[in-house]
Amino acid sequence: MSSPTKDARRAVRAAEVSRLLSWLAAAIGIGFVIAFLAQAGLFQALLPKQAEPPPPGIEPDRITAGGSTVSGIDDGKQPYRVTAKRGWQDGKTPNLVHLEEPVGVFRRASGAEYTITGAAGLYDTKVKSLNLDGNVVLEQEGRFKVRMDRAEIAVKQKKLTANTPVIAQFASGTVDAKGMQITDDGARILFLNGVRARFSAAKGKGDTNP
């Protein structure tokens, strides 16, 4: 026959085991609830949402405008126009406007127009300058066509400076040089450094003078 002391110990152990099993059952139940809520997406909905990344090809905090156009009157009282596929204001220097595939159209006093294009450009609204970079082409139909990598243009004065190799095509031949300057309303074209010219008798119509 067991003693009262042993019976009391058994009762205490049974109570402890029962309490432990109750806690374990509660923990398992809470675990099932958490798993269910996680699968239901409730926890994900309660978490703070992260900012969505910008769409590809669009940079954050950038002022962008499609079909940008700048126009004005130069020092010779002739109109000029610079257009671009896309343009955006520089984040650090507000007077600078970055241009994608810019096209500049200028007019001489005689009324003849010439164009200059490039892969990219930078227009300064303060000093009215246009810097072109990549596949730059200057052309006046029927007179000349010049290719270069980069060019700097003082828009109001219609002055162009290129410090990179240029290839100029005229009706009477071609000129290769390591630089070029155009002044006097486009009437004066000066080739610089290592100039090589190849001319022949003019054929057909058109202005054969550089």
Phi, psi of 185 (to 5 degrees): 60, 30
Where does 162-203 have alpha helices with state H?
none
pLDDT band at 59 (very low <50, low <70, confident <90, very high): very low
DSSP track, 24-78: HHHHHHHHHHHHHHHHHTHHHHHSPPPPPPPPTT--TT--EEES-EEEEE-TTS-
Residue type, 63: I
Q: What is the DSSP letter of 21?
A: H
Instruction: Indicate whether 58 pLDDT > 80.
Output: no
Reported as a single tens digit per residue, the pLDDT across 160-204 is 999 999 999 988 899 999 999 999 887 788 999 989 999 886 555
What does pTM read for this prediction?
Answer: 0.64
Quickly state the pLDDT bin for 148 (edges 50, 70, 90).
very high
